[in-house]
C-alpha cells in the first residue's frame, strides 16, 4: 500500500494505482474532473497510464456546468 494526499486528505491506495484507479476509488467520473499530481496537470487521456507514487500530492477538482 501507498499513501497519497488527495485534496489535503491522506488516502491509501494499492502500490500500482493510477490516476484512473484513484478516480474510481473516489467514485468520480473521469470526464468531469481536472487532476493535478504534484502540481502538474494530468490530461484525461493520461489518467490510465499515470501511476501514482507514495507521497504524491493530488488535487482533484470536479467540473460543474450551468449558467
What domains lie within the chain, and their CATH numbers? Answer: 2-62 (3.10.20.30)
- DSSP string of 5-20? EETTEEEEE-TT-BHH
CA distance 24 to 5: 16
pLDDT of residue 65: 73
CA distance 12 to 57: 12
Q: How confident is the model at residue 51 (pLDDT cuts 50, 70, 90)?
A: very high
Residue 22 has pLDDT above 90, yes or no: yes
Average pLDDT, stretch 19-43?
92
Q: Which helix (H) or strand (E) holds 61?
A: strand 57-62
Residue 67 has pLDDT above 90, yes or no: no
CA distance 54 to 61: 21
Amino acid at each position: 500500500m501507498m499513501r497519497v494526499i488527495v485534496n489535503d486528505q491522506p488516502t491509501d491506495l494499492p502500490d500500482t494505482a493510477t490516476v484512473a484507479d484513484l478516480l474510481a476509488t473516489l467514485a468520480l467520473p473521469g470526464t468531469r474532473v481536472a487532476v493535478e499530481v504534484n502540481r502538474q496537470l494530468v490530461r484525461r487521456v493520461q489518467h490510465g497510464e499515470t501511476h501514482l507514487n507514495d507521497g504524491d500530492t493530488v488535487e482533484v477538482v470536479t467540473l460543474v456546468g450551468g449558467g
